[in-house]
Structure 1
């Protein structure tokens, strides 16, 4: 083989090549400064370019006005207020895409939905996840109070008439409707406070009421206040002991303690009907029955309350005339009706359930009227 360089048919063509006559070569031999000046606007983010002058590089960096995919993503991100209606977007995953026009898809606005049921609306991402019917009613300018209505009022009237009639028969006959009243009072108060099931608390409150009844029957009406207050004090202590043995968190124990004490107090105070004079029980219970029925009539609230008080006073006069109290029955009937209407209002609090209406709505008017029947009966009879 020869050591001479290869001289083929193409060798002469490349030896005669002159870059000055080639238009493509002239383009590549142009000064590089203009290209460097435009490089920041054309370069892809993240690509570093060599600058001969560091100050010039800093100047171009500060005067960056080119639009890249990164700035487009920032412009398309939703505002803070929109985040309450749309789920969070995965911008980091979209930023890893090689397509400069790739943007995270914007979800469509959700359609209006009906409430999810059970007194709550649909969940949202704004922090105010679910609201009750009472809160929604306040926001809409409506009253959150729903009164028990005519059916619970009728049951209250029946129970009140049983108390009124059995009071004239004797103490042991009066105990039968009284025990029913105390049981419904204990259960209704716990349900009214949103605590259900609460078997231990209901059982404890009802047991306190039974103990008070037995103490009254043993000690007699003349020792009624001592029997009622003594039982109440013992049951408050028992409620404290029961909550101290609970393993629930402190807030739950405090709430349960308050509900248990209040339920036991109302159930025990209902025994005041057994401690009161029979004629006072007859007049007061009849007045409560009439007042609650009148309160359930479809009238404005103020007019309904006035009609209830007038009806209770009239019933007090009518029944008082049959028992020997006479006109004094009007005052006793009106006083018992005021306490009964307070109990009725408590049972109407903050969108109660139907079970609350048929327990607390039935029992609280009669239970709340017991102290008035006892005190006014002792003063007027």
Structure 2
């Protein structure tokens, strides 16, 4: 039999005696691994808080990015700031509303705080961090506008705002000429710096030509922004929440207009009607600011800066124009 097997090697398959020892020599831990279910796909380090490669997977806010698939599965990749930033927005808006009734100097302090958060939030929202020079430059543009408005004569607010914005844009452009990065990156940085400067200067609109009538407009507008931000953060259906926020802002405008007697006795419209219109306008500005600050991954720093400041900052020009036109 042994000779026959040597003369006819094809009579017995060769792979079988080769596989049998391999199976017998298989380690015990491999045999156990076959009986266990396959493990789940590995989660990226950024989602588990691991350190390897976490910097690449992090969002612009520094918080670890989770997998985007569950977020997009819910219908929208954008995540609104939420209740905590809305609460901070409400506190800051009430500070602006209260200091407007005290005087220009007190309001300037609240506006300067708003401008600082606006400058930091815009750079952070655009993924540029640290950008200390750009943040400081944009904040100084806002402070310079505040001081100029406090010292300017009544009715000169548009000239002061445009002049300060133009001068700071020239300064920003001059400083960016020293940037040795690539053309695309340089253009992106310059655009972010221009926008941050414009936003901080626009936030000074709360101080523009502040008198008794426009002080009431600032108070009503700020209260409406606070209520709109809080109402938008409530857990409501996506298509219902903006409408509820606008209605709440209009109601807050009516209440604040009655308390402040918006426009006084010589106002063109009744305080309730004026308050409702101003509440709707500033409530819409607040919703726009929240939409801009919404980020496609949870970013606590973006939400606690841009998400806090932008709803109130974007309402500043609306408050100024309404105050000049209707009160």
TM-score normalised according to structure 1 size:
0.66
Which residue of the partner structure matches residue 344 of structure 1?
A: 290
Q: Residues 221 and 253 of structure 2 are in contact (CA less than 8 Å); yes or no, is this contact kept in structure 1?
A: yes
2:224 match:
287
Matched, 1:228 2:161: yes
Structure 2 counterpart of 1:114: 43
- Residue 106 (structure 1) aligns with: none
In structure 2, stretches of 5+ residues that fail to align are 1-37, 59-64, 263-270
Preserved contact between residue 313 and residue 334 of structure 1 (Cα < 8 Å):
yes
Residues 224, 311 of structure 1: alpha-carbon distance in 2 compared, 3 angstrom cutoff: same
1:203 aligns with 2:140: no
Hey, what does 2:180 align to over in structure 1? 247
Are 2:191 and 1:258 aligned? yes
Which one scores higher on RCO, CA 8 angstroms, separation ≥ 6? 2
Who is 1:190 aligned against?
123
The root-mean-square deviation of aligned C-alpha atoms, in Å, is 2.4
Question: Which of 211, 231, 236 is residue 299 of structure 1 equivalent to?
Answer: 236
TM-score under structure 2 length normalisation: 0.76
Shift of 1:112: 2.5
Mark the structure with the bigger radius of gyration.
Answer: 1
- Residue 340 (structure 1) shift: 1.1
Q: Is residue 221–residue 274 contact of structure 1 (8 Å, CA) maintained in 2?
A: no
Cα-to-partner distance string for 1:298-324 (whole Å, 9 max, x where unaligned):
001221111111111111111111222
Contact 1:291 1:309 survives alignment (8 Å): yes
Contact 1:294 1:308 in 2 (8 A): yes
Do the aligned partners of 2:231 and 2:241 also contact (CA within 8 Å) in 1?
yes
Alpha-carbon deviation of 1:116? 2.0
5 Å-filtered alignment, 1:1-381, equals: 112-117=41-46, 133=66, 135-136=68-69, 140=73, 142-275=75-208, 277-325=214-262, 326-327=271-272, 328-381=274-327
Task: Indicate if the aligned counterparts of 2:145 and 2:201 stay in contact, CA closer than 8 A.
Answer: yes
Q: Distance in 2 between matches of 1:221 and 1:136?
A: 55
CA–CA distance in 2 between the matches of 1:153 and 1:362? 6
Output one character per residue of 1:112-146: Cα deviation in whole Å (capped at 9) or x when no partner.
3112216999x9xxxxx979657545764642111
Count of residues in correspondence between the two structures = 267
Structure with more helix by fraction: 2
Query: Residue 4 of structure 2 aligns with which residue?
Result: none
